[in-house]
Amino acid sequence: MFAYEGEDPLSSHDGPRAGIAWLKAGPDLGHDHGLHFGASFGSGQHQEIHEEGIGTNNYLDGMSWFFGADALYQYSAHGEHGQGDFTLQAEYFYRNKNLDLEASDDPGAALGDDLDSSQDGYYVQALYGILPHFRGGLRWEQVGLTNEGKEPGEARETFGDSWRIAAMLDFSPSAKSLIRVQASNGDYDTADGTENVWEAYVQLVITLGAHRHKGGYLCSGHH
């Protein structure tokens, strides 16, 4: 989220160079239900070096900040080995960078011009205990509802969004092992247009130690 070089020709900034705050809250809904809300914010010094060609770099310095919000609902049915348990989870994330062109190896570069970019994304997922030891899950995720940027000396551009939907089934034969089968399909915005990707895989998770940390997430994969 934050990158800092601190060497010539970029400026050196005394620390602290980043700050992060978060808040978590959850009402008491009794033994069977759980509800949690969260929010986070961070802001910090940000520097980048862009390679514009052989022997030509642009050096940018400025600030970057982000905001996030999440919610989690859990229901315990007290069924046999998780049967009837339900989890619903969602999260939203927004990021902005505002940098100035501080130096360049190109003598014709417009020093002081800015780079400004904004992106966001979210996901929603649900898990349900369909049988003892078995859970099913669905996940929808999308990035780029806001996806725009401006490079120094160039006009602002708006880019497309990317999304993915996934379904999974997992089986816990014991308290410390889990087998997961997952399939997903997604549309990804690239420089060459939209690319549709199918994925399928099987995971084996084994927990070592005295305690098992119960998994509650579908794998998010990559974009």
Residue 24 domain-assigned? yes
Percent of the chain residues past pLDDT 70, beyond the cut: 88
41: left (phi over 0), alpha (psi -120 to 50) or beta: beta
Q: What is the pLDDT of residues 164-196, one digit of tens each?
A: 999 999 999 988 899 999 999 999 988 888 899
Under 8 Å between Cβ of 36 and 27: no
pTM beyond cutoff 0.85: no
User: Mean pLDDT over all residues of the chain?
Assistant: 87
pLDDT (0 to 100) of residue 106 = 74
Q: Which residues contact 137 (CB under 8 A, 6 or more apart)?
A: 125, 126, 127, 128, 166, 167, 168, 169, 170, 218
Angle made by CA atoms 60, 63, 65, in degrees to the nearest 5: 135
Residue 7 domain-assigned? no
Residue 103 domain-assigned? no
Rounded CA separation 32/16 (Å): 43
What is the pLDDT tens value at each position of the chain, 223 positions in all?
A: 666 566 667 777 777 778 999 999 999 898 899 999 999 999 988 887 877 777 788 888 888 999 999 999 999 999 999 999 999 999 999 999 988 887 877 777 777 777 889 999 999 999 999 999 999 999 999 999 999 988 777 778 888 999 999 999 999 998 889 999 999 999 998 888 889 999 999 999 998 876 555 555 566 654 4
pLDDT (0 to 100) of residue 223 = 42
Residue 216 domain-assigned? no
Q: Which residues contact 190 (CB under 8 A, 6 or more apart)?
A: none
Please give the tally of structural domains in the chain. 1
Residue 170 domain-assigned? yes
Residue 169 domain-assigned? yes
Angle made by CA atoms 184, 215, 209, in degrees to the nearest 5: 135
pLDDT (0 to 100) of residue 204 = 94
Residue 2 domain-assigned? no
- The domain in which residue 137 lies consists of 18-41+64-94+113-206
Rounded CA separation 65/61 (Å): 14
pLDDT (0 to 100) of residue 222 = 46
Q: What is the pLDDT of residues 7-38, one digit of tens each?
A: 667 777 777 778 999 999 999 898 899 999 99
